[in-house]
Amino acid sequence: MSENNFFLKRKTVRKYTKENISDEKIAQMLTEASHAPTTGNMQLYSVVTTRTPEGKEKLSPAHFNQPSVKGCDVVLTFCADFNRFVKWCEVSDAVPGYDNFQSFMTAVLDVTIFAQQFCTIAEMHGYGCCYLGTTTYNAPQIAEALNLPDRVVPVTTITLGVPDGDAPTSDRLPIEAILHKELYVDYDDDTIKSLYAEKEAREDSKNFVAENNKQTLAQVFTDVRYTKEANEVFSKIYFDFIKSKGFEL
């Protein structure tokens, strides 16, 4: 299979077999992922692996008890981490100034790139991965479960394992929806409808709308999945948590 076909056919895997991935294999893949781009070669990230039933039991509620947390072989929590770098500065007679929004965003970018590099490497080795967006919802509980110190903030989580059966390929918007040449060209109503037409016409999308008793697919997102009320609640939780970890936003 060509690289092009590999990426076009990648799948999110939420169901796994009981087969184990060795600690050595995980370390190898993380080592490969650590060669991803990073700001100033600072590597402002850490990852905590959880594979014991007890550890997964602690993390599961923070991820709304999604089955993939307990069903996977390993849960990997990827964290923006300025703790290690600041301590290196302090023992090296350097005065760090990284308790600010710019520094936090730098670490977020570093860990995001690192996590995606790991995900790609794992999938190319035949393993299955699933990102858990709930990490930023319940960061305080995750930090407590994983004993995260100041200046370490969980950003995303990946469940990892050997795929159990096949998984559907996710639909994506056409490239015309996301590519702007030279200047950003805003969308008129007709263009928006055209760009989302194929997504809305999918049978699984129609079922999604019907199951949630809505009239449009967009309403499922605004009224059910990612509501204004929930976004505001979790925004405040994450914002306050980040500040409590030593970053001034």
pLDDT score recorded for residue 169 = 87
Region 40-58: mean pLDDT is 98
**Per-residue pLDDT tens for 13-32?**
999 999 999 999 999 999 99
Nearest to 14 by CA among 75, 89, 81: 75
Delimit the domains of the chain by residue range. 3-167+230-244, 175-225
Angle between helices 139-146 and 228-244 (to 10 degrees): 40
**Per-residue pLDDT tens for 115-163?**
999 999 999 999 999 999 999 999 999 999 999 999 999 999 999 999 9
- How far apart, in whole angstroms, are the C-alpha atoms of residue 115 and residue 201? 32
pTM: 0.95
Identify the helix (H) or strand (E) that includes residue 233: helix 228-244
**Per-residue pLDDT tens for 171-229?**
999 999 999 999 999 999 999 999 999 999 999 999 999 999 999 999 999 999 999 99
- How far apart, in whole angstroms, are the C-alpha atoms of residue 96 and residue 233? 32
* Residue 2 confidence (pLDDT) above 70: no
pLDDT confidence tier of residue 57, bands split at 50, 70 and 90? very high
Nearest to 132 by CA among 106, 155, 166: 155
Region 64-69: mean pLDDT is 97
The DSSP line for 134-202 is: GGGTSHHHHHHHHT--TTEEEEEEEEEE-B-S--PPPP---HHHH--SSS--PPPHHHHHHHHHHHHHS
pLDDT score recorded for residue 136 = 98
**Per-residue pLDDT tens for 88-105?**
999 999 999 999 999 999
Residue 217 Cα to chain centre, angstroms: 23
* Residue 70 confidence (pLDDT) above 70: yes
**How far from 144 is each of 61, 67, 92, 141, 148, CA to CA, in Å?**
12, 21, 30, 5, 7
Residue 31 Cα to chain centre, angstroms: 19
pLDDT score recorded for residue 4 = 61
pLDDT confidence tier of residue 1, bands split at 50, 70 and 90? very low
User: What is the average pLDDT value for the chain, to the nearest integer?
Assistant: 96
pLDDT confidence tier of residue 3, bands split at 50, 70 and 90? low
pLDDT score recorded for residue 71 = 98
What order of strands is seen across the sheet that includes strand 152-161?
A: 45-50, 74-81, 152-161, 128-132
Length of the chain equals 249
Nearest to 156 by CA among 233, 230, 104, 79: 79
- How far apart, in whole angstroms, are the C-alpha atoms of residue 22 and residue 193? 47
Tell me which architecture the domain covering 3-167+230-244 has in CATH.
3-Layer(aba) Sandwich (3.40)
